[in-house]
Amino acid sequence: MIFKFIAGVITTCLLLTLPLSSQRAEGAETLVKEKPVGRDAPLWDNSPDPAAYTLPAIKKISKGIFRIGNIIVNKSEGFVSINGEINMDEGLVEYLACGPRGKLHESVLKLDVDPYYMQIA
């Protein structure tokens, strides 16, 4: 008996918290997604929208040689070629290499590549 009463109270509370269809339509018009500012803002905002992100085009250059973004994959000889530069020659090292938006203050090499493309290669 007490269990049915408690279940009824919980169900009633849950139903009261659901918005009506007319309230939902009004709320959808007033909600505007604002960009975070100050401490909550991202360090950079030039990344593509994740919803619009597409897979990289894999282009065949010649037999056994493919291009994925800025990466050249040579399947016949078994190597991957990536352009980059030496980032640091002294100090504490955390990573051997990272992309242009990675932790450059502790990386030996700065590679001109999206890490996702490198993972595919």
pLDDT tens-digit readout, 92-111: 888 888 888 888 888 899 88
Same structural domain, 107 and 63: yes
Same structural domain, 60 and 109: yes
Q: Residue 49 falls within a domain, yes or no?
A: no
Q: Residue 11 falls within a domain, yes or no?
A: yes
Same structural domain, 73 and 104: yes
pTM of the model: 0.50
Same structural domain, 111 and 63: yes
Beta-sheet strand order (sheet of 65-68): 58-62, 65-68, 71-74, 79-82
| Nearby residues of 115 by Cβ (< 8 Å), 6 or more positions away | 98, 99, 102
State which residues form the domain around 29: 2-40
**Mean pLDDT across 66-87:** 90
Q: Residue 48 falls within a domain, yes or no?
A: no
Q: Residue 45 falls within a domain, yes or no?
A: no
What is the pLDDT confidence band of residue 73, given thresholds at 50, 70 and 90?
Answer: very high
How confident is the model at residue 5, as a pLDDT? 65
Neighbours of 73 (CB within 10 A): 18
Same structural domain, 67 and 103: yes
Q: Say which DSSP state 57 is in.
A: P
